[in-house]
Structure 1
């Protein structure tokens, strides 16, 4: 990540935009998506670690770009991200748009550079990441669903949040020389679980706990699991999804390691506020 950002800041780059690139990706948050990608690659043997690293960096750059764009006034109009002012608050709206755009291009540049080590895998990684970034199945589609009068909640969640988790599992497999298709279900299930957990955090947590505004689903009238199922129903849904995720792990040398990783994610996904009595959260 550091090397990729440094390339974007080189030469006669405009100073404020160069600074915004670094601001948008640090601190890094949990880095869940690249960690998942690398975990899948390792479970599959990881015979091209340089390609796997490039895939993980590219995926995280796309994710960070999506956060910069999501926070803009035309979408979520958020003031905080990861406990600090959002990019458009810190640098201006035009620079936030350019920062997100630059990070997207940078992600694909990272994969192109990895082509020297394995051209075929690099091309497959570019295709997989493009599919889960744009239309009709990527995060752009996920954002687009919010402009529809009738929303397919499953398709919305699969595109808005699930897309980059599917990219993570499939790109990890590709980077290690495995076919990506069997890994789609695992990514989709983890992505759906992450979205339900995010809906729960938005409904029951405080700003200080998650480092970004809460109550946004209600404010923006977004479809969400808590509205549809209630807090307890959403919690049950979260547990069911994660159980299915473990069962969906394809056969690979590191299958047991991946199952344990998903179990650890399950523990981390549950919002801490849900350990309090329900009456205190009303």
Structure 2
């Protein structure tokens, strides 16, 4: 089965759990709206690619981990779009959740997706009578919670935007890199490997995507992005383009991606994983217009 099919099937299974019984109709619809159809599913793709490179001996567990990670990502997008944060009208080319269903339902949607992510991991941990899945599931919960909350998860990344003085590295590591670190760590954990050697790969991929996002935000329009453009300038956020200029940020992006490939730990699927990183790089590089602005 293709990676994309594994991810979508796992997402739909998780959604079925959330919609069992007699849930509130509007909230149930909002959950579906927030996760289907999905975006590029980059984070769960990385997770499953790492798991595959490490042997992927428990494919049901790794698929559940991929779904849990993407549910947290979707929750963060719903919350990011709220008026108290970005006040964004568009997400993934369609009206944001709070514009379609109301602000209260958007808050509840994000909260519900967070809870569903951890419930998904808990259910996955019950599958193996030997207890190996339960032990791995506990590690998965720890990795995902660390990269979602405080002190260095995506909640911290949002929190940095309320500080008068911002540590740009800590901000980017929390805001964007955290879930990419979770992806590489959780992929290794799912396959029974030590997550620590995989942290640098996730951090570098996350940094690359943050720089690419800064460039897209500065150079593309709403239609090309599928969400409001120019948000960094509008909200006075620190970003790579403001610090390095377009040319410098583009060069920095290339350097980070080369470092990411070099950081891949030795594993049976090392070559295939390097190809996956290159494909992801190709997916983000062509969207950067050839400007000569500094």
Place the TM-score, normalised by the shorter chain, in its bin. over 0.9
CA distance in structure 2 between the partners assigned to 1:10 and 1:119 by the alignment: 24
Aligned residues: 279
Cα shift at 1:271: 4.9
Q: Do residues 76 (structure 1) and 86 (structure 2) align?
A: yes
Superposed, 1:1-40 pairs within 5 Å as 1-40=11-50
Does structure 2 conserve the Cα–Cα contact (< 8 Å) formed by 1:88 and 1:95? yes
Q: Deviations over 1:34-88 (max 9, x none)?
A: 0000000000000000100000000000000000000000000000000000000
Partners of 1:256 and 1:273 lie apart in 2 by 27
Instruction: Kindly indicate whether the alpha-carbon contact (under 8 Å) linking 2:157 and 2:175 is maintained by their aligned counterparts in 1.
Output: yes
Whether the aligned pair in 2 keeps the contact of 1:20 and 1:87 (CA below 8 Å) is: yes
Q: In the alignment, which residue of structure 2 is the partner of 1:194?
A: 209
SS of residue matched to 1:278: coil
SS of 2:258 mapped into structure 1: helix
Deviations along 1:3-55, whole A, 9 cap, x unmatched? 21122122121100000000000121100000000000000000000100000
CA distance in 2, matches of 1:20, 1:132: 25
Match for residue 113 of structure 2 among 103, 107, 110: 103
Query: Take 2:136 and 2:37, find their aligned partners in 1: how far apart are those partners?
Result: 30
1:150 pairs with 2:165: yes
Structure 1 residues without counterparts, runs of 5 or longer: none
Matched residue, 1:125: 140
TM-score normalized by the length of structure 1 = 0.97
- Verify the 8 A CA contact 1:62 1:103 in the aligned structure 2: yes
Moved >2 Å (runs of 4+): none
Name the CA distance, whole Å, in 2 between partners of 1:238 and 1:8.
39
Q: Is the 8 A contact 2:124 2:137 kept in 1?
A: yes
- State how far apart, in whole Å, the 2-side matches of 1:95 and 1:130 are: 23
Per-residue deviation, 1:268 = 1.1
Distance in structure 2 (CA, Å) of the matches to 1:7 and 1:34: 19
Q: Unmatched 5+ residue regions in structure 2?
A: 1-10, 128-132
Q: Is the 8 A contact 1:125 1:174 kept in 2?
A: yes
CA distance in 2: counterparts of 1:145 and 1:128, whole angstroms = 21
